[in-house]
Structure formats: structure tokens, C-alpha cells
Amino acid sequence: MIIWTIQPKVWWDTLNSQGLINLDRDKFLTESTEEAEFIKDYYLKSYDWMVEQMRLRISSYPSDQSLLPLWGWYQWDSSKKKTPDLRHYRNLKNHVRIEFEIDESLVLLSDFETWHFVLNNWMLRNDELDREEPKPSDEEKIKSWDQIFNLEFFGPIDTRCIQATFWEIHIDQVRKVKEFGGSNIGNK
């Protein structure tokens, strides 16, 4: 399976020199980067939920229990636009798009749009909420989030934005690396 991930260039440098990148939870959460602060403040519970889903749904996961998922794209805009368009990320400086091949058993695919229900702690429904209906319990709401893995919940898969989560990238998986505003800096 081909996946693309957008990462800081320093990650590519680390992957290139050490042969592996992953995201250690404790190290990441002690960083004072804008991204780390944002995730700590707003999305850590959602990320923890995704970690649990990956442990349940992926056939193999690392023995290091302190990892957070890495994120990428299986299908950025639709089946016709699978590769992330770097113009969309033009405000990011010193980033790269890494294209790599990974065994599908090591990846958890989910619908990008419905993932926002998890991020916002909303009930995921495919029908209009009846105003008279009682508020769902937290258990019902969390159970509804399983639908993010139904890649055709809101339409045919070839029309959807499909994200990918995985634990790590190995250098031998990399097919191509493109620096923002630059040329390819790594090819197989």
C-alpha cells in the first residue's frame, strides 16, 4: 500500500540517518512545538482513542507501548487525487512529503471527514438528529465513532478523503521525498 505523509524536514533527516522514525508519546508531549501544544490542549483524548483502535484493529504493533500514531494519506482528496497537493500546505515551512510503501496489515485507514466527530467529541450519525431525542450517553457516542472505519459511511470510497495511521516508517519503505517548494530530495 502506498501512503504519503507530511512531516517536518528534520523527520526526514532523522529517518535518513537512523533508518526509522516513530513518535514517542512522552518525548512528543514534552516538546514545546506549536503542534505538540495544540495536540496536548485539544486532541490528546482523541489520539488516545485512535491508539486503542490501532491496537485492536492492526494485526501487529510495536512492543513500545509509548508510541503515538503517525498520520498520512491513503487518498488525499479522492481516488483521482491520491497524492497530497503541496500547494494546500503552502504555509508550512521546512516540511517534506514522504511517499512510502507499507504492508496494509500495519495501517489503519479511516475517513478523514468523520474523524472530526472524534476530534470534536460529537456523536457520529448519518441522519438528522431529532431535537426531541435524548442526548446520547458517552458510551453510545464513543461506540458511534467506529463508523470512521466504514470508509463508505458518507459516500463511495473513491470520493472520500482517506487518512492512514501507522506506528513507524523504515527507510527501506521510502519511495520518494519532496521538499516543499523544492525538488525531490530522495528517490528509490
Per-residue model confidence as pLDDT tens digits over 9-59:
999 999 999 999 998 888 877 776 776 676 666 678 898 899 999 999 997
**pLDDT at residue 100, as a whole number:** 98
Q: In whole angstroms, how far apart are CA 26 and each of 66, 67, 68, 151?
A: 7, 8, 9, 31
Which helix H or strand E contains 186, and what residues bound it?
A: strand 184-187
C-alpha R_g of the chain: 17
pLDDT of residue 129: 52
The pLDDT of residue 66: 83
The CATH code belonging to domain 2-111+156-187 is 3.20.170.20
* pLDDT, position 140: 93
Mark the ranges of the chain whose per-residue pLDDT is less than 50: none
188 in helix, strand or coil? coil
pLDDT score, position 93 = 76
Q: Where are the domains of the chain?
A: 2-111+156-187
CA-CA distance, 93 to 35, in Å (whole number)?
13
CB 162 within 8 A of CB 155: no
pLDDT of 28: 76
Cell numbers for 81: 487525487
DSSP 132-172: TSPPPPHHHHHHHGGGGG-TTTTS-GGGS-EEEEESEEEGG
